[in-house]
Each structure stands twice: as C-alpha cells, then as structure tokens.
Chain A
C-alpha cells in the first residue's frame, strides 16, 4: 500500500464549477501538508501549505486536513481554464523528506 494515494483523473469540469481534489494517507505521523500545481512541461509550484488539522483559504483555493480520517482536500471555487493542470499533494512528518501523491490531472473547459 502506498503511503499517499491520489486519484490520477483526469477530472474534467466546466468553467465556474467547484472542484474537489483529494488525497488519503496511511501514516498518522504526517503533520505537514502541501498542494503543488504543475502545468504541462513545467515544474511543480507550491499552492497551499498547512500544518496539522484544519482549513486554510487563499483566494479561490481552500485546503482542508482531516487527520482523524487521514484525508486532505483542495477545493477550487469558480474554476477557470487557467486552473487546468496536475495537482500534487505532498506531506511529511518532520522537516525531512516529502512524500508525494501521483497527482490528479484537472481540465477546466470554457
């Protein structure tokens, strides 16, 4: 069993939709949770960073961590075609290595 599971998609939604991207994990020691966005043929860029449980909001993006269920989510409101990318979750239990999900490909069509 992988430490971090992420549905690869693709997820295809119309412009303006609310998007929900999710990851599950098995290691209850994870404390640091990140979402990276990766456009085609580019490197990943950090989108959201949260420590421990709870929600964090930044503009149209909301990151949610549920440690009791070992489940993290990224919500995108009012999705735009420019949000079309692969979204990678990443997590760690200390300041050592990051463990990445395999990524979910999102397509937002006009």
Chain B
C-alpha cells in the first residue's frame, strides 16, 4: 500500500524560527512535491524534486527552501517563519512519468 508520511500533524512555531517539515515515502518514487493549502486558494505548489539532490521552484517558493539528500525523504524548510506561512502543508510523491500523486496526511502549521 502507498505510504507518504509527514513527521508532524500539528506544529506551533514563533515568528523568526527556523522550521523543518519532513516527508518520507516508501514507494521508491522519484518525484516528490510540497504544497500549501489555504481556504479559497486550493493547493499551491511550493517546490518539487525530480530526483535525489534535484529541486525545482513551484509557484510560490518565496520564503521556503527544500532538501532531498535521499530518495525517500523530502524536507521543506522555512528559514525564518512568518505569520503568513500559517497553513496546511501537504507532501506528495509519484513515479516519474506518471500523473497520479499520492499525498501525506498534512502538517497544520501555526506561526504566532
């Protein structure tokens, strides 16, 4: 069975903190994605990775960075968290060349 695991379901951080969101998939997928989901705006792509050590900017990369040192793990980093980064963050993965993405349960981040 397909499994994408996000390390935290809920996180509360202070403005200015460095925040790490971790995502692990056990399906040997090449491609991984980070989205944020906000009411009325839907899912917006932050960054994606085609393979280990590769990354591409999505539609809203400002204020975020990513790391993909191993195939199964894709990390999203907020260098200095701000209140406008309060959101639901979703990680997804897929086999290269396929459209279907498999999602994790999400991390609800609150920045105070």
Q: Which residues of chain A have a CB within 8 Å of any CB of chain B?
A: 6, 8, 32, 34, 36, 41-46, 49, 88, 92, 95, 97-98, 100-103
Contact = CB atoms under 8 A, between A and B. Distances in A.
Contacts of B105: 41-43
B100 A43 contact: no
Secondary structure type dominating chain B contacts: loop
B108 A41 contact: yes
| Max chain B Cβ within 10 angstroms of own Cβ: one of A6, A32, A44, A102 | A44
Interface in B31-52: 40-43, 45, 48
Contact of A100 (B42, B96, B108): B42
A95 B42 contact: no
A101 B100 CA distance: 15
Given A41-B106, A43-B105, A95-B98, 15 more contacts: A32-B99, A41-B9, A42-B106, A43-B4, A44-B90, A44-B103, A46-B100, A46-B102, A49-B99, A88-B42, A95-B99, A97-B48, A100-B42, A102-B40, A103-B42
